[in-house]
Amino acid sequence: MARVKAAVATRYGGPGVLKVRQLPDPTPSPGQALVRTRFIGLNFADLMQRAGVYPRTPKAPFVPGLELAGEVVLPGPPGLGLNAGDRVVAYPIFGSHQELIATDLAAKIPDAMDLQTAAALGVCGMTALYAIHHLGRSRPGETLLVSAAAGGVGTLALQIGRHSGLRTVALAGGEAKGALARSLGADEVVDYRRPGWKRRIAAMRFDLVLDSVGGPVMRACWPRLAPLGRYILFGFSGAVGPGAFSRLKGAWNYLRTPSPHPLHLVSANRTLAGFNLSLITDHRPLLTQMLGEVFDLWEKGDLRPMVTKIYPFGGITRAHADMQQRRTTGKVLIQME
Ligand SMILES: NC(=O)c1ccc[n+]([C@@H]2O[C@H](COP(=O)([O-])OP(=O)(O)OC[C@H]3O[C@@H](n4cnc5c(N)ncnc54)[C@H](OP(=O)(O)O)[C@@H]3O)[C@@H](O)[C@H]2O)c1
């Protein structure tokens, strides 16, 4: 039996539990295509899967990974609309950290798009777009706050914000990240790893907040939501420590996250919303529509993923550790060797 290279989460835990192993070739089920991975788009969710704290995570050992770009080996049924050799993105939700993947969630990419761009654009682009346009219903002239603004989602959210006529405020950890956010058009940058950041936030007002950190960030930013404002909580990275995920840090972040009473939303004219893109895969037409919108923005030149580092597949544990320790900026890819 042929074998494929895979990064296996041997048990739930820190980056060190991820081991490169040879697994049997995946066999597609009747509704699936077989795709050869060329680039893996690393997402924060992959770290949460590895730690066993992501929704629907399989029992270990398993192969984590939401996102990849590559080529179709076996096209699957006609309903998938694929042909052998097509260049595609795929979102298996679990399993992108391997050479070959059987999936029913794959889509062709535009002819002019290279595979690196494709691997970097989809999940982060759809997340930013869904938060700003679909849930956030942004209007030109409004003020948008983006947390983790120099990261994969953040750098695309700043671009979408700028092209949507929004004034953008970036929360970014450290000077280099702040500089990146500014280069992408952030009107104001707040370094939330420096003392005094909450005082700066306390002097601001936001119509739309994209918060992927929760805890102290939500505690500082929720009260600054303007009447008619929308607060979109779509991540909880503040619960994460630099090594293994700690239940204690998670519990602390949970307790520090405000939970406004619904009646107070009514009297303050505020919206609090949340979403998880991987669960939107249960609503396939919406996902297809959003991916199309992201590709359109890319074709118009309005959306450019910031690929800052490409790790070799053998360095995938290092890539996980770097993201978890907040050392990455923009989008990180892993190249299948
Ligand atoms: N709900 C969804 O469907 C969905 C989809 C995609 C992503 N997300 C969420 O969006 C966020 C960004 O995802 P991404 O893949 O683009 O990652 P990323 O932003 O490229 O990397 C994570 C960044 O989060 C910030 N961060 C804040 N507190 C952290 C902590 N305690 N530990 C580690 N990082 C921390 C760091 O930036 P600073 O140093 O600037 O703080 C870090 O660089 C994540 O929270 C992710 O779960 C949600």
Alpha-carbon distances, residue 310 vs 136, 243, 323 (angstroms): 32, 22, 13
Atom 25 of ligand 1, residue of closest alpha carbon: 148
The CATH number of the domain where 157 resides is what? 3.40.50.720
What's the CA-to-centroid distance between 242 and ligand 1, angstroms?
A: 13
Same domain flag for 76 and 25: yes
Q: Which ligand 1 atom sits closest to the C-alpha of 236?
A: 45
Alpha carbon 130 to chain centroid, angstroms: 12
Pocket of ligand 1 (CB under 6 A): 43-45, 123-124, 127, 148, 150-154, 172-173, 177, 212-213, 234-235, 237-238, 240, 275-277, 323-324, 326, 328
Does residue 165 lie in a domain region? yes
User: 232, 251, 274 — which closes off a domain?
Assistant: 274
Model pLDDT, residue 299 = 98
- What is the C-alpha separation between 18 and 36, in angstroms, rounded? 21
Model pLDDT, residue 1 = 67
User: 274, 299, 326 — which closes off a domain?
Assistant: 274
Model pLDDT, residue 297 = 97
- Testing ligand 1's pocket by substitution, the residue of 56, 121, 182, 237 carrying the most ligand atoms inside 8 A of its CB is 237
What's the CA-to-centroid distance between 133 and ligand 1, angstroms?
A: 20
Residues 34/1, Cβ–Cβ less than 8 Å: no
When divided into structural domains, the chain yields a total of: 2
- What is the C-alpha separation between 37 and 39, in angstroms, rounded? 6
Does residue 132 lie in a domain region? no
The CATH number of the domain where 101 resides is what? 3.90.180.10
Could you please report the per-residue DSSP string of 133-156? IIIT---TT-EEEESSTTBHHHHH
Could you please report the per-residue DSSP string of 8-59? EE-SSSSGGGEEEEEEEPP---TT-EEEEEEEEEP-HHHHHHHHT-STTPPP
Tell me which residue range forms the domain holding 323.
3-121+287-335
Q: Which ligand 1 atom sits closest to the C-alpha of 171?
A: 40
Same domain flag for 329 and 220: no
Same domain flag for 77 and 33: yes
Give CA torsion, residues 171, 193, 276, 4, to 10 deg. 120
What's the CA-to-centroid distance between 151 and ligand 1, angstroms?
A: 7
Model pLDDT, residue 196 = 95
Same domain flag for 47 and 158: no
Does residue 281 lie in a domain region? no
Atom 21 of ligand 1, residue of closest alpha carbon: 151
Nearest alpha-carbon partner for 303 in 162, 181, 166, 98: 162
Same domain flag for 218 and 243: yes
Same domain flag for 184 and 87: no
Does residue 88 lie in a domain region? yes
DSSP structural state of residue 130: I
Does residue 127 lie in a domain region? no
Same domain flag for 259 and 206: yes
- What is the C-alpha separation between 52 and 46, in angstroms, rounded? 10
Same domain flag for 224 and 194: yes
Residues 312/288, Cβ–Cβ less than 8 Å: no
Same domain flag for 113 and 169: no
Does residue 282 lie in a domain region? no
Atom 39 of ligand 1, residue of closest alpha carbon: 173
Same domain flag for 264 and 151: yes
What's the CA-to-centroid distance between 98 and ligand 1, angstroms?
A: 23
Classified as helix, coil or strand, 213 is: coil
User: 252, 274, 296 — which closes off a domain?
Assistant: 274
The length of the chain, given as a count of residues:
337
Q: Which ligand 1 atom sits closest to the C-alpha of 130?
A: 3
What's the CA-to-centroid distance between 212 and ligand 1, angstroms?
A: 6
What's the CA-to-centroid distance between 172 and ligand 1, angstroms?
A: 11
pLDDT in tens, the chain (337 residues): 679 999 999 999 999 999 999 999 999 999 999 999 999 999 999 999 999 999 999 999 999 999 999 999 999 999 999 999 999 999 999 999 999 999 999 999 999 999 999 999 999 999 999 999 999 999 999 999 999 999 999 999 999 999 999 999 999 999 999 999 999 999 999 999 999 999 999 999 999 999 999 999 999 999 999 999 999 999 999 888 887 788 888 888 899 899 999 999 999 999 999 999 988 777 888 999 999 999 999 999 999 999 999 999 999 999 999 999 999 999 999 999 8
Does residue 80 lie in a domain region? yes
What's the CA-to-centroid distance between 298 and ligand 1, angstroms?
A: 22
Same domain flag for 270 and 293: no
In terms of Cβ atoms closer than 10 Å to its own Cβ (0-12, 13-18, 19+), residue 259 is exposed
Q: Kindly state the tokens that stand for 151.
A: 């990261």
Instruction: Give the E-state strand segments of 75-142 in sequence order.
Output: 87-90, 100-103, 106-108
Does residue 215 lie in a domain region? yes
Same domain flag for 143 and 270: yes
Around Cβ 5, how many Cβ atoms within 10 Å? 17
Q: Which ligand 1 atom sits closest to the C-alpha of 238?
A: 31
